[in-house]
Amino acid sequence: MASLRLAARRFTATLSLARATTRRLSSAPGSANAFRAKLQTRPRGCSLQFAVIPSPVVTQAMAAAGADAICIDLEHGPIDYKDVQAMVASVRGSDCAPVVRVPSIEPLGVKRALDLGAEGVVFPLARTAADVERAVRTLHYPPRGDRGFGPFVAASAKGFEFAGAAAHYERNPPLCVVLIETAEAVDNIDAILAVEGVDAFQLAQFDLSTALGASGRFDRPEFLAAEKRVEEAAFARGVPLGAVALTADRAAELHARGYALTVGFDVHWLKAGVAAASGWVAD
């Protein structure tokens, strides 16, 4: 009996330490909660930069340059899960939240991304409110969701006690960003925006224009009508909305219209920078 009481006291002490650590980390720079606070309070909005290049040097540089969040892209490009772990680790200690775009709305990819230390997930190809509800559930442990337990790497990377993982994620839930990139999503936008647990939506112009048969033609009436419908619905609900901005003028335009999130891509910035530098010596 004495040994059982001693074991119980040790277990209680471990849980107390885990809870104290969780409280300390729940709003740390670069955490999901810290990014949420920025989304809600920054007049100029936030910057989300997609990382397609499989390099922790790139993510570290973008975080140091001031990105509020970096989305490591598993849907497009050559990144794999080993890259994800290194890229997430490369921004630890900065004020930049690492999130992962998964290839589809399914539990395995989400679980692996979060267990590698990501602060959230970007979900592609949502078409209905049921899709978004399913996405939200993959982010959370039971009873709120159906995420399996095993944050071995995340606990080490983020500094919370393994035994306190559930408490950590209860206080600091993973970020949830949903892409609006299909015609069906536009048709169902009111029901989609009503789903609880989503932090932001991104209007994915290139995907949506392609889905509407007007790839890259953002002046086409069908795209403009879809864009307007999404904007009006999101702004009416006060839901943070993002879109791609590859120039300062475009970012200013989006902010003036009410967007909270501007999006870019590492490959674009690299090419644009090298092109500019090449122009300095061109004939």
Catalytic residues, which ones? Answer: 76
Find, among 251, 130, 242, the residue nearest to 177 by Cα: 242
| Structure-block tokens of residue 51 | 């990382």
Task: Kindly write down the DSSP assignment for every residue of 5-69, as one continuous string.
Answer: HHHHHHHHHHHHHHHHHHHHHTT-TTSHHHHHHHHHH-TT-EEEEEE-S--HHHHHHHHHTT-SE
Cβ atoms of 104 and 125 within 8 Å: the answer is: yes
| Structure-block tokens of residue 246 | 């590859």
Question: Which are the contacts of 168, defined by CB distance < 8 A and separation ≥ 6?
Answer: 18, 21, 22, 25, 26, 158, 160
Find, among 87, 147, 142, 79, the residue nearest to 117 by Cα: 87
Report the residue count for the chain. 283
Find, among 207, 135, 115, 230, the residue nearest to 178 by Cα: 135
Residue 244, SS3 per DSSP: strand
Cβ atoms of 171 and 23 within 8 Å: the answer is: yes
Angle of CA points 257, 258, 259, to nearest 5°: 105
Rounded to whole angstroms, the Cα distance separating 84 from 120 reads 13
